[in-house]
Structure 1
Amino acid sequence: MPRSDPQGLRELLGPSASLCRRSIGGEQGVALPPLIDHHVHLHLIDERELTAGGIAGVLDLGGDPAALARRSPDGMPRIAYAGAFLTADGGYPSGRGWAPDAIVRAVTDPSLHPGVAGGAATAVDEQAGFGASVIKISLNTAAGPVLEGAFLAAVIACARERGLPVVAHVEGDAMTEASLEAGVDVLAHTPFTERLSAALVQRAVATQTWISTLTIHDGVSAQNAEANLAAFASAGGRVLYGTDLGNGERGVGVLVDEVSALDRAGVRGAALVGALTDTSFVGTPSGVSTFIPGPPPASLGEIAAWLGGATVVPSEELVHDDI
């Protein structure tokens, strides 16, 4: 794509894309808004590598709320978080080697009154008090008991009262439907246990956002996740880029395999950039932009690999050529 065609660039990547050059050295490339990974676990990765790899903001979906609250709000990457997993007594991820006690809270009482030991309101208020932007719950029947009935309803009601969206780890037969019945706002993973019916996908499109995390799976789970996300995206569902960084040995930054999986599922071009730059849960990282050196992609099929060259730079360092 010629550098003289900014309109064509924006048709391919969306209205936020801009041809630019760096003020020091004159390197040419493309500027995008800051990129965000909507599912990470900071206690399991070296976050210092994120910005060099193109990620300016993250949503931590399971960590020690006290440790997360001690982080500077002006640091880089910008961090939003859920705090601890809220789960049933003995439920996932209790007892996992990667999940110390500090990142798990068992809800053993459906009390809506603050201060009750093990109570729903107590657990939600603790995360909110430490600055959580969302509340994370576990609905994983494959790994133990789950919050259900009055317990699940109480957690969601408390989160609603405090203006906090509810994100769920959903795993196990019928758990996606259970999340919809309960009023869960966001799925931390694209459903992967089962292939969802068209009717269930349509219900999800109306009320939920899905975070991708497609490449943590293999085999049937990977096939289910890609098929479900393709159906969800095709029906107009809101999709966010997320990797579950910390799960397995992978690079830190923009993961081309995750971006490519989103592209295969039909989240392409401007929609793909939108999934990477949505600020609803993390906010906008201030003072920085994404810079991808070299010529822009010439077709939809080139975008995923091209995004792998992203890095985070100060916005003031970029001179925009096409505005």
Structure 2
Amino acid sequence: MPGSYAPAPGRGLDLLVASTSSVGAVSNSHQPFTITGVRVFGGGGPLPGVTHVRVSDGRVAGAGDASVARPGDALVDGSGATLLPGLVDAHVHLLPGCTQLAAGFGVTTVLDMFSKPETIVPERAAVAASEAGRGPVRADLRTSGVGATAPGGHPTVAYAHFPYVTGPRDAASFVADRVAEGATHLKVIYDDGSGAMLDLPALDVRTIEALVSAAHGKGLPVVAHASTSAGAVTVARCGVDVLAHVPFDRMTDGQVRDVARCGVAVITTLGVLDGFPGRDGVMPLLGRPRLAGRLGARWRRVVERQATRWMPPEPPDGAAQRYNTVALLESGLRVLAGTDVPNPGLVFGASLHRELWHLVEAGLTPAEALTAATSAPAGVFGLADRGEIAVGRRADLVLVDGDPAADITATERIRDVWVLGRRVDHGAYTGGEAEREGVRWQRESAERIVRAIAETWPGLPGPEEVRREDGEILGRVVPTSGGWQAVTVFGAPLGSAGGHDEAVAVLHARGLACLAEPWWARAGDEPAWRRARIVEAAPGRVRLRWDDPLADQPSSGRWFGLDDLDLSLDPPEG
């Protein structure tokens, strides 16, 4: 039951480190260092009087005043800044390289809530190498492995070919298999699709109870996905420990009391609203300069393109989730910050800062929001070595300018991040192979989901190929938030979105002709646009030759994938 996974008792204020740190970054994990003159948020609140934190051998070795420093320590100036425990994202789904990306934004632990072994195993190996001091610094990782769902149930559309649970008799073996694969908690899905006006197979109550019993017998907490208020009550009564989402419909007072009586914790995932662009057409994450500025160009392109995908006419406003979050917190339940990344509009690490903002917008104090991303998830998931700044705890630390306990957006002003005392070099991820692989995985996953949705619900609009009478492909028409968009064979948009027939006509008129026109292109992280000619085109990539005669390039041009390129037929503004 939830009480079995309560946080470890506090170590006392004298063991806690609070400090405001700054430049002078330390990269040698073997050399002890002390962060000086810093404001400290310890995990449960600010720590008055703590101005210095000492780190040695990957652990917090001292916290207090200037006397904690030792001769030979490297000194990190924390003036004007706040030191936080490393942030915990309590709800992610893995993709390659995600732990490296998350660490660059101060998220030093990620709790995976459904991934398959082919993604988990290499990522976990990379984390182990990082903790041994090899390779780039990464966030730590805990995983449920494959979640328990009914045959064909949610989220089959996203994760084909995984083991299902057909009834109570499967519970013990399913849990045993997850434990053998290294699961640290169990994910259970209870969702019949009614919250989204769908009809999906779902586990029954007896099966969920059997899964909970089997998981608790192995010492695993149980996280339950339930999207509706009624579903949340059902799984809470089954004895689960954590709700994976705040319900999407407004809870009644009775439902809040029922869930509170069961003592579960609740992962918020309010930031799924960031999957919908604002009135200016900009995705919310990209509207935060300090977060967007830490994104590489590849991830920026991913999020920008998600702004034009097909969406329902009326996006959710999140009012019910915000109400439920505060009601559940006020009922005494522990609230945990989680993002559900990599859903549309969300990026590992960056989106947890947006989740904190959403929590404060819902009505939490900044200190309550910070606790939801530090000591609260560490306590609920039995991670006694992190979540607070205390002697002996992991030196997973985030140094930010300003005071996030007064202004939650200060968490976006990241100066430095350490995982087990090793400083994170965020620039090592941007432009590298880990970023490239992660973006490719995300794109291919999204394409697979779109195909599966089209097969499952043929009435929903989906991309369509457009061919000439002789069979040569001209491009595709794609449903977007603004209507049907004509897209070239290599994936660049032509014209503006409008009606279906209009988009088809654009492809017949320009689908091949545009290949001979001059294009404007911006490659990689380059800030400048340059004029170029398309030498050759293929699905998802083009070979370009720059018009600039002084450009260093092969005579036949160079291939670029669309993940590495912005393209426009019109001269970009500015």
TM, length-normalised to structure 1:
0.81
Take 2:121 and 2:98, find their aligned partners in 1: how far apart are those partners?
18
* Aligned residue runs from structure 1 range 63-82, under 5 A: 63-65=115-117, 67-69=119-121, 71-72=124-125, 74=128, 75=130, 76-82=138-144
2:154 is the alignment partner of 1:92: yes
Change in Cα spacing, 1:16 to 1:150, as seen in structure 2 (3 Å) is farther
Deviates more, 1:194-203 or 1:308-317: 308-317
Structure 2: segments with no counterpart, 5+ residues = 1-19, 21-36, 55-73, 131-137, 277-314, 387-392, 424-574
Find the counterpart in structure 1 of residue 397 from structure 2: 290
Find the counterpart in structure 1 of residue 367 from structure 2: 270
Find the counterpart in structure 1 of residue 252 from structure 2: 197
Take 2:96 and 2:422, find their aligned partners in 1: how far apart are those partners?
32
Take 1:205 and 1:44, find their aligned partners in 2: how far apart are those partners?
37
Change in Cα spacing, 1:222 to 1:105, as seen in structure 2 (3 Å) is farther
Change in Cα spacing, 1:295 to 1:181, as seen in structure 2 (3 Å) is closer
Superposed displacement of residue 274, structure 1: 1.2
Q: Quick one: which of 402, 407, 417 aligns to 1:312?
A: 417
Name the SS for the 1:42 alignment partner. coil
CA RMSD, 1 decimal: 3.3
Deviations 1:54-110 (A, max 9, x none): 10001000011465256246443111111101101111111x1x3242xx4311132
Take 1:139 and 1:17, find their aligned partners in 2: how far apart are those partners?
47
Computing the radius of gyration from Cα coordinates, the structure with the larger value is 2
* Aligned residue runs from structure 1 range 6-45, under 5 A: 13-15=45-47, 19=51, 23=74, 26=77, 28=79, 29-43=81-95
Take 2:343 and 2:111, find their aligned partners in 1: how far apart are those partners?
15
Name the SS for the 1:58 alignment partner. strand
Superposed displacement of residue 254, structure 1: 4.2
Superposed displacement of residue 203, structure 1: 2.6
Find the counterpart in structure 2 of residue 321 from structure 1: none
Deviates more, 1:242-251 or 1:42-51: 42-51
Q: Quick one: which of 316, 320, 324 aligns to 1:224?
A: 320
Find the counterpart in structure 2 of residue 116 from structure 1: none
Find the counterpart in structure 2 of residue 106 from structure 1: 164
Deviations 1:131-179 (A, max 9, x none): 2111101111115111113222221221121121111110246211211
Q: Which has the higher contact order (CA 8 A, sep 6+)?
A: 1
Deviates more, 1:155-164 or 1:19-28: 19-28
Deviations 1:229-251 (A, max 9, x none): 01111222200110011111323
Q: Quick one: which of 108, 112, 121 aligns to 1:56?
A: 108
Deviations 1:205-248 (A, max 9, x none): 23110001002137446111111001111222200110011111
Superposed displacement of residue 25, structure 1: 6.2
Q: For the Cα contact (< 8 Å) 2:229–2:247, is it kept in 1? A: no
Find the counterpart in structure 2 of residue 257 from structure 1: 354
Take 1:34 and 1:8, find their aligned partners in 2: how far apart are those partners?
12
Find the counterpart in structure 1 of residue 529 from structure 2: none
Name the SS for the 2:179 alignment partner. helix
Take 1:15 and 1:191, find their aligned partners in 2: how far apart are those partners?
34
Superposed displacement of residue 6, structure 1: 8.1
Q: For the Cα contact (< 8 Å) 1:138–1:168, is it kept in 2? A: yes
Change in Cα spacing, 1:186 to 1:317, as seen in structure 2 (3 Å) is closer
2:207 is the alignment partner of 1:151: yes
Take 1:105 and 1:133, find their aligned partners in 2: how far apart are those partners?
18
Name the SS for the 1:15 alignment partner. coil
Superposed displacement of residue 191, structure 1: 0.9
Name the SS for the 1:90 alignment partner. coil
Superposed displacement of residue 269, structure 1: 3.1
Name the SS for the 1:227 alignment partner. helix
Deviations 1:246-283 (A, max 9, x none): 11132331433211111122322332221111313272
Find the counterpart in structure 2 of residue 128 from structure 1: 179
Find the counterpart in structure 1 of residue 517 from structure 2: none
Q: For the Cα contact (< 8 Å) 2:43–2:85, is it kept in 1? A: no
Amino acid at match of 2:333: G
Q: For the Cα contact (< 8 Å) 2:42–2:84, is it kept in 1? A: no
Amino acid at match of 1:250: L
Change in Cα spacing, 1:315 to 1:191, as seen in structure 2 (3 Å) is same
2:337 is the alignment partner of 1:244: no
Deviates more, 1:56-65 or 1:304-313: 304-313
Amino acid at match of 2:140: R
Amino acid at match of 1:105: P
Q: Quick one: which of 189, 208, 212 aligns to 2:264?
A: 208
Deviations 1:275-319 (A, max 9, x none): 11131327235643323343335x63x1x210122442257589x
Change in Cα spacing, 1:137 to 1:44, as seen in structure 2 (3 Å) is farther
Take 1:16 and 1:43, find their aligned partners in 2: how far apart are those partners?
39
TM, length-normalised to structure 2:
0.48
Number of residue-to-residue matches in the alignment: 302
Q: For the Cα contact (< 8 Å) 2:272–2:346, is it kept in 1? A: no
Take 1:316 and 1:158, find their aligned partners in 2: how far apart are those partners?
37
**Residue identity (%):** 26
Superposed displacement of residue 13, structure 1: 4.0
Take 2:357 and 2:49, find their aligned partners in 1: how far apart are those partners?
19
Change in Cα spacing, 1:235 to 1:17, as seen in structure 2 (3 Å) is farther
